[in-house]
Amino acid sequence: MMENEAQRSVSFRFRRDRSNPTPYAKDGEGSFFSPGRLPHDYAMKIVWKRGFVRLVLVAGILWMLLILIVLLLHVWSCQSSLAFFSAICNKEGKVFIVLNTMGLVPKPEHRCSIPVANDPDKVAIPRGRTPDEIVKNLSYFTEAEFVNNGSQSFPLFGGNKSWSQREDSFMLNSSMKLHCGFLENGGDEMAIADIEYVKNCRFVLASGIFDAYDVPHQPTNISQRSRELFCFLMVVDEVSLHFIRKNATVREDHYGGQWVGLWRLVLLKHQPYDEPRRNGKVPKILTHRLFPQAQYSIWIDGKMELIVDPLLILDRYLWRGKHTFAIAQHKHHRCIYEEADANKRRKRYARPLIDLQMKIYYYEGMEPWSWKKNTISDVPEGAIIIREHTALNDLFSCLWFNEVNLFTPRDQLSFGYVVYRLRGSFKFFMFPNCEYNSLFVLHPHTREHSSKVEWVKSISEFKGKGSSMKETRGGFGLWTPYLANLDSVVLPAVTRTSKAG
């Protein structure tokens, strides 16, 4: 009987083991812990699979580290003071723009070294001109257009274009005729002696003083080669000429020219606008119209003292990179709507008129700047403009001036808009602001500019007696009914990026 009990116990345990197999004894499925029951090649597959996963992970990590190292090297090279690394940096590339937008690029110094050549005498000047491939023939309207202001009738300097004429001017053709200031008897005529002098100027360093806001500052570090090559032309009005005569030594040559140091004073008679700042845009933007024989020009604002040889500037910003137009990047803003907001806060012009200009631009498709755009910024630091006077560059300057003539005299608001309207046809080099600050010594104005129009907060203030604040010869687009209803246009929200901006 005991044997029977033992047999039943063994039989029960056997059946229980058969009905509840352990994880170590699965049939047919195999287990990581039962290699004896698995084929040898299956185990090898598992080993290879694990090794492949590890290889992919390691390769991915190494690839990410390589990308990070390259990006850090790119950022470092752009910030490096070594000429070689600074020269290979592409600050116009989207990689740098994206990194800068994400805040991964260190803030540049206020001033930085400029990779200019060491010796102006060794700079090679290109032969001939850059060929005109898009616009080959550019001409201008010169017929006088008159406007009636009460009982007084006078010609307009910039014309009185319709909205449809403005739209047509952005349509590029090989041969174009457009408004570009200097209509008959419209103002800004030069003396005969100055007209004859500038006919021989191929290289021009130009500046301007209006309404006696500055005194001429002599350029320094100028080589003998540049002294012989460049015409140093300081454009002034009657008020400024009288002020300069009282505060600086003016000499006259036997041709009737007036000089202050290196600067030859070029007097513009009969100012076309009743706003000094708008008058100052004429020689600044329309340099090619004042000095039509010039092939290269460098414009600097009157408050600047140039401390770099102009031949080195042309070599650095035009010839070395095969550019034809160069301008500095604004220190604080990339978006015109940010710049417009700063202009309103700092009372640079009437707030509602700035808003009207921006509404028109936004309605016409001008988006806020982002890294997706092909330009490093839409806002320049306009105190220096470096140009070769090609037909396309001259066209851009005319279109830029026409926007200043049509709207507000704040030229930084319209630069990016004109670039946008030309749809990538206009190429330019926008260089870092820290280099801009290394080109000059900045001097204060003789006094602060202020006018009632800058304090206007609503359009209603221009009605009745307030209509005397309206400019009588410029900004007609602000008072000419636009082709579309702008009431529903809401300007993009602006985040203030700098206390100073």
Question: DSSP code of 317?
Answer: I
The continuous run of DSSP H or E covering 326 comes out as strand 325-329
Measured in residues, the chain has a length of 501
Question: DSSP code of 146?
Answer: E
Q: Helices in 270-325 by DSSP H: which ranges?
A: 276-285, 287-290, 310-314
Percent of the chain past pLDDT 70, that is, above it, reads 83
Which pLDDT band holds residue 407 (cuts at 50, 70, 90)?
Answer: very high
**pLDDT: which is higher, 479 or 18:** 479
Strands (E) across 330-455 are located at: 380-388, 429-431, 440-442
Taking only Cα atoms into account, the Rg of the chain, rounded to an integer number of angstroms, comes to 34
Distance separating alpha carbons of residues 208 and 303, to the nearest angstrom: 9
pLDDT tens column, 168-227: 999 999 999 999 999 988 888 999 999 999 999 999 999 999 999 999 999 999 999 999
Position 26 pLDDT exceeds 60: no
pLDDT of residue 102: 59
Position 47 pLDDT exceeds 80: no
pLDDT of residue 8: 52
Helices and strands (H and E) in the chain: how many: 16, 16
pLDDT of residue 12: 47
- Which region among 35-44, 135-144, 195-204 has the lowest average model confidence (pLDDT)? 35-44
Angle at 283 between CA 279 and CA 285, to 5 degrees: 100
User: Are 184 and 414 within 8 A, CB to CB?
Assistant: no
pTM attached to this predicted model? 0.81
Q: Helices in 427-474 by DSSP H: which ranges?
A: 433-439
Nearest to 91 by CA among 110, 107, 71, 74: 74
Which pLDDT band holds residue 46 (cuts at 50, 70, 90)?
Answer: confident
Position 78 pLDDT exceeds 80: no
For all residues of the chain together, what is the average pLDDT?
87
Question: How would you label 55-93 residue by residue, b for 16+ Cβ within 10 Å and e otherwise?
Answer: eeeeeeeeeeeeeeeeeeebbebbbbeeeebbeebebbe
